[in-house]
Amino acid sequence: MIYGERDTIPKSKNLKNIVPNLDIASLDCGHWIQQEKPEETTQLILEWLEQKMLNKETETYGWQRQIDWKH
């Protein structure tokens, strides 16, 4: 879940109780995060996907590779 810190809709206080394996991030923007912060939103999603893939590889193969995102 990616929240906009300046969104007028409040953050859910019990979302973690409803959604299993929930990861939460926030950006300094309003409600329309994809339009207001497209690069930052994309980067958060790519990092989240990469972490999920790394976790899956670790579970499957017992090792974890390191990715340098700061090229």
Give the Cα separation of 15 and 23 in Å (integer). Answer: 10
If one counts every other C-beta atom within 10 angstroms of the C-beta of residue 41, the result is 19
Q: How far apart are CA 63 and CA 23, in angstroms?
A: 22
Taking the domains of the chain in order of start, what are their residue ranges?
Answer: 2-61
Q: What is the pLDDT of residue 54?
A: 83
Q: What pLDDT score was predicted for residue 65?
A: 47
The 8-class DSSP code of residue 11 comes to P
Q: What is the pLDDT of residues 36-58, one digit of tens each?
A: 999 999 999 999 999 988 877 66
Is the backbone of residue 46 left (phi > 0), alpha (psi -120 to 50) or beta? alpha
Q: Provide mean pLDDT across the span 25-46.
A: 96
Q: What is the mean pLDDT of the chain?
A: 84
Whether the model pTM is above 0.75: no
